[in-house]
Amino acid sequence: MDSRRRILDALRAASPPAPRAPDLSGVGVRWDDPVKKLSEMVLAVAGRLVRVPDAAALPAAVAALASEVGAAQVASAVEGVPGTVDLSRAKDAHALEGLGLAVLPGAFAVAENGAVWVRGETFRPRGAFVIAEHLALVVPASEVVHDLHEAYRRIVLDGAGFGTFIAGPSKTADIEQALVIGAHGARSCTLFLVG
């Protein structure tokens, strides 16, 4: 008998009766001001939130960030934000080594934890968000959800693809619990909230 059959049979034989899946209507949080909560939580995850009045003001805001972090090369997958590197021409993620700043669109931000949902189909190569030295995520101010429950009600994951929540810059506390920013991925993470 193959292992697949053997494991599934063993699990079926061993499984206790399954109680019903719980009713999840009792969990979840609603904030009076989700954008205010989001700003607090972005700080808590060591990120930065910048309000931008409209899409027209975005390129200047990104340029200011690029010069602040000293990014010579900027790659953008956000419409209307020019970059110096064309992401779509990168052969694969290896070509992005040394990239100073990646600017990527976020679908929405989550107030309870400061995370931004980034859909894989909005940029390529996949590694752009983690290989770049610095990261900027662009989210419309209208797209802020209260909590993860609301977030997953919005997320569609049917079929092949990739999606990730990103909450602040890459970090570690593996040496004596001292928080260090910039472990493997982006050394900073700026969330531009537009509108």
Partner 1 sequence: MTGARATGGHPAAAAEFVANEPRARWHDQALWFVRDKRDRAASLVPDWERLRDAAAAIRAHSRGRLADLLEEFEAKAVACGAKVHWAADAAEHNAIVHRLLSERGVRRVVKSKSMLTEECGLNEYLGARGIEVVDTDLGERIVQLAGEPPSHIIFPAIHKKREEIGALFHEKLGTAEGLADPKALTEAARGHLRERFLAAEAGITGVNFAVAETGGVVVCTNEGNADMGTSLPRLHIACMGVEKIVPRLEHLAVLLRLLARSATGQPITTYTSHFQGPMEGGELHVVIVDNGRSALLADPSVRGALACIRCGACMNTCPVFRRSGGYSYGWVVPGPIGSILASARDPAAHATLPFASTLCGSCDAICPVKIDLHGELLVQRRTLAARGLVSPGKRLGMRLVAFVLAHRALYEAAGRLLRLALRRLPRSLLYGPWNVWGRRRELPAPPEESFRETWRRTRGARG
- Complex with partner 1: residue 83 or 185, whichever CB lies closer: 185
Q: Which of residues 85-124 bind partner 1 (CB under 8 A)?
A: 92-94, 97, 110, 112-115, 120, 124
Q: Which stretch binds partner 1 (CB under 8 A): 48-56, 64-72, 138-146, 149-157?
A: 149-157
For the bound state, the minimum distance from the C-beta of residue 66 to partner 1, rounded and expressed in Å, comes to: 21
* Distance (Å, whole) CA 19 – CA 37: 36
Distance CA 40, CA 36 (A): 6
How large is the greatest C-alpha to C-alpha distance in the chain, in angstroms? 64
- The answer to whether 44 contacts partner 1 (rule: CB under 8 A) is yes
Q: Decide: is 148 part of the binding site for partner 1 (CB under 8 A).
A: yes
Among 83, 127, 137, 192, binds partner 1 (CB under 8 A): 127
Chain CA centroid to CA 183, Å: 16
Indicate the SS3 state at residue 179: coil
Q: Which of 32, 54, 79, 158 touches partner 1 by CB under 8 A?
A: 158
Does 64 bind partner 1 (CB under 8 A)? Our answer is no
Identity of residue 73: Q
Cα-based distances in Å from 143 to 28, 32, 36, 110: 18, 15, 13, 9
Residue (59 or 119) nearer to partner 1, CB? 119
Between CA 51 and CA 61 the distance in angstroms is 10
User: Under the criterion CB under 8 A, does residue 164 sit at the interface with partner 1?
Assistant: yes
Residue 69 is a binding residue for partner 1 (CB under 8 A): no
Taking alpha carbons only, the member of 144, 153, 156, 152 closest to residue 112 is: 144
CB of 129 to partner 1, least distance (A): 7
Rg of the chain (C-alpha set): 20
The count of residues interacting with partner 1 (CB under 8 A) is 80
